[in-house]
Amino acid sequence: MMMRYALIGCGRISPNHIVAAQKNNLDIVAICDVNEHNMKDKILKFRLPASVKCYTDYKQMLEQEKPELVAIATESGRHAQIALDCMTIGHANLIIEKPIALSLADADRIIETAEREHLKVCACHQNRFNKSIQKIREAIEMERFGRMLYGTAHIRWTRDYAYYSRAKWRGTWEQDGGALMNQCIHNIDLLRWMMGDEIEEVVGMTDRLNHDYIEAEDLGIALIRFKNGAYGIIEGTTDVYPSNLEETLYLFGEKGTVKAGGQSVNVIEEWRFSDILDDPEEVKRMFHENPPNVYGYGHTPLYADVIAAIEEDRPPYVDAAAGRRALELVLAIYQSAATDSIVRLPLGECKTTDFTGRFGGAREI
Ligand SMILES: NC(=O)c1ccc[n+]([C@@H]2O[C@H](COP(=O)([O-])OP(=O)(O)OC[C@H]3O[C@@H](n4cnc5c(N)ncnc54)[C@H](O)[C@@H]3O)[C@@H](O)[C@H]2O)c1
């Protein structure tokens, strides 16, 4: 039997979810949005059948449709409450768009509730499924790098007035955070994951240089010391003029150097190992994607994994704990920047609204 699926939030990223659901043969029973126009638009664009019900109230949708899998793609500040309701009212497994929550306490509640209710929760860090990233991860797991020495994540993108004026929640402390929390969290997740997850300390600086109409940062830079002795550098911004430049992930080990690049780490640009297990030119040719936008092709394989995780009763490849680790690292950078100090992990309770007012208010959009 096809798995009953519903989507909550039919905005900018929702097409990736609908396509992933269709390609994975999910039974789309409902879509939900407080904005009816956004729902109608998706029904038409994706030729969703008349059997797909539209709801403006997700609780009603959960009670009436009883989906087994729900994707949450609303503004980030609403993820946690909706996720908790989906699990407790609807007993649904979840794919939660990144970041899974805006506070560590909320992320913990999501993890605890999923465990208690025996439900699967996936954090939607779909870039982990890029062909390039999967190939790099395989090299990590085969220990081809030897000891990891350091890694860097650069995100040099553009987000302009038009982007923020389309959805006023973006760039607010209550519903979003800034460049690091929204645009850069994918690569921040990748860096932490590739470098062994465990972090000793973080020092960061953030600023709002060129977006006085948002509350949060448009530039963040950070240094990380991992528990295994390796170092990390993060540089993420939405200040690049006039269009997205690149998103790169460099990994340096004692026996290997790799660079994933392109607009969103979809391309392997350097592949150098002391072993001769493969031909670097062949690897660069094979593990290469050229998606139409920075969201890439990862939602479809991420959905396939979550469906398999439910069927096989195992954790998803990107579980809620992984989502929490990415969130923790961004919040640690925020805290270091705000307090002008080195922050040691694990971080105690911290949330984006702790930084309200940090760069002054925002000019009315
Ligand atoms: N994985 C990715 O690459 C990626 C890319 C873009 C956005 N995102 C994430 O996806 C989420 C949505 O971003 P977006 O750019 O699509 O935002 P958006 O503003 O375009 O869409 C959000 C939608 O959620 C709806 N909504 C709000 N509250 C609701 C509620 N209570 N019930 C039902 N619907 C509700 C809004 O009406 C809107 O249509 C954010 O968390 C963002 O960080 C992820």
Q: Work out which ligand 1 atom sits closest to the CA atom of 9.
A: 24
Residues 196 and 234 placed together within one structural domain of the fold: yes
**CATH code of the domain covering residue 232:** 3.30.360.10
How far is Cα 14 from Cα 271, in angstroms, rounded to an integer?
34
Nearest C-alpha neighbor of 271 from the set 131, 155, 154:
131
Mean pLDDT over 333-337 rounds to 98
Q: Is 134 part of any domain?
A: yes
Q: Which position has the token pair 């993890």?
A: 111
Q: Work out which ligand 1 atom sits closest to the CA atom of 10.
A: 39
Substitution site in 10, 12, 14 for ligand 1 pocket (most atoms within 8 Å of beta carbon):
12
Cβ-contact 42, 18 below 8 angstroms = yes
Residues 18 and 77 placed together within one structural domain of the fold: yes
Two tokens, residue 110: 């999501």
Residues 194 and 305 placed together within one structural domain of the fold: no
Q: What is the CA(79)–ligand 1 centre distance, in A?
A: 9
Cβ-contact 356, 215 below 8 angstroms = yes
Q: What is the pLDDT of residue 218?
A: 98
Mean pLDDT over 69-75 rounds to 98
Residues 79 and 162 placed together within one structural domain of the fold: no
10 lines ligand 1 (CB under 6 A): yes
Residues 158 and 277 placed together within one structural domain of the fold: yes
Q: Is the pLDDT of residue 365 over 90?
A: no
Residues spanned by the domain of 270: 130-291+325-355
In degrees rounded to 5, what are phi and psi of residue 225? -110, 120
Substitution site in 7, 17, 33 for ligand 1 pocket (most atoms within 8 Å of beta carbon):
33
Q: Which position has the token pair 């640009």?
A: 269
Residues 28 and 86 placed together within one structural domain of the fold: yes
Q: Work out which ligand 1 atom sits closest to the CA atom of 82.
A: 31
Q: What is the pLDDT of residue 294?
A: 87
Q: Work out which ligand 1 atom sits closest to the CA atom of 170.
A: 19
165 lines ligand 1 (CB under 6 A): no
Q: Is 147 part of any domain?
A: yes
Mean pLDDT over 156-162 rounds to 97
pLDDT level of residue 1 (50, 70, 90 thresholds): confident
**CATH code of the domain covering residue 121:** 3.40.50.720
Q: Is 120 part of any domain?
A: yes
Residues 82 and 150 placed together within one structural domain of the fold: no
Q: Is 363 part of any domain?
A: no
Q: What is the CA(101)–ligand 1 centre distance, in A?
A: 13
Two tokens, residue 14: 């929702």
Q: Which of 36-40, 117-121, 221-225, 292-296 has the lowest mean pLDDT?
A: 292-296
Residues 192 and 114 placed together within one structural domain of the fold: no
Q: What is the CA(144)–ligand 1 centre distance, in A?
A: 39
Bridge pairing between strands 4-8 and 27-32: parallel
According to DSSP H, which parts of the chain are helical? 14-23, 36-45, 58-65, 79-88, 104-117, 131-141, 161-166, 185-194, 280-286, 299-312, 320-339
First to last CA, the chain: 48
How far is Cα 305 from Cα 93, in angstroms, rounded to an integer?
13
98 lines ligand 1 (CB under 6 A): yes
Nearest C-alpha neighbor of 343 from the set 358, 363, 327, 329:
329
Cβ-contact 106, 349 below 8 angstroms = no
Q: What is the CA(242)–ligand 1 centre distance, in A?
A: 25
Q: What is the CA(74)–ligand 1 centre distance, in A?
A: 3
Q: Residues 306, 3, 40, CA angle at the centre, nearest 5°?
A: 95
Helices and strands in the chain: count of H runs, count of E runs: 11, 14
Q: What is the CA(9)–ligand 1 centre distance, in A?
A: 5
12 lines ligand 1 (CB under 6 A): yes
Q: Which position has the token pair 């306490």?
A: 105
Cβ-contact 305, 316 below 8 angstroms = yes
Substitution site in 55, 75, 110, 124 for ligand 1 pocket (most atoms within 8 Å of beta carbon):
75
Q: Work out which ligand 1 atom sits closest to the CA atom of 57.
A: 32
Residues 90 and 166 placed together within one structural domain of the fold: no
Q: What is the pLDDT of residue 353?
A: 98
Q: Is 215 part of any domain?
A: yes
Q: Is the pLDDT of residue 195 over 90?
A: yes
Q: Is 361 part of any domain?
A: no
Residues 179 and 277 placed together within one structural domain of the fold: yes
Residues pairing with 152 in the sheet:
233, 250
List CB contacts of 47: < 8 A, sequence separation 6 or more: none
How far is Cα 153 from Cα 259, in angstroms, rounded to an integer?
10
8 lines ligand 1 (CB under 6 A): yes
Q: Residues 129, 134, 135, CA angle at the centre, nearest 5°?
A: 155
Residues 139 and 259 placed together within one structural domain of the fold: yes
Q: What is the pLDDT of residues 286-305, one digit of tens each?
A: 999 989 888 999 999 999 99
Residues 268 and 305 placed together within one structural domain of the fold: no
Q: What is the CA(170)–ligand 1 centre distance, in A?
A: 10
Nearest C-alpha neighbor of 295 from the set 267, 264, 321, 317:
264
Q: Is 25 part of any domain?
A: yes
Question: Taking the mean position of all CA atoms in its chain, how far away is CA 148?
Answer: 24
Q: Is the pLDDT of residue 263 over 90?
A: no
Q: Work out which ligand 1 atom sits closest to the CA atom of 294.
A: 3
78 lines ligand 1 (CB under 6 A): yes
Cβ-contact 216, 177 below 8 angstroms = yes
Give pTM, 2 decimals. 0.98
Q: How many domains does the chain have?
A: 2
Sheet holding 219-226, edge to edge: 267-273, 256-261, 246-253, 148-156, 231-237, 219-226, 199-207, 343-344
Q: Is 362 part of any domain?
A: no
247 lines ligand 1 (CB under 6 A): no
Q: Ligand 1, atom 38: nearest CA belongs to which residue?
A: 11
Q: What is the pLDDT of residue 317?
A: 98
Mean pLDDT over 322-347 rounds to 98
What percentage of the chain reaches a pLDDT higher than 70? 100
**Residue 301 CA: distances (Å) to CA of 250, 311, 350:** 24, 15, 32
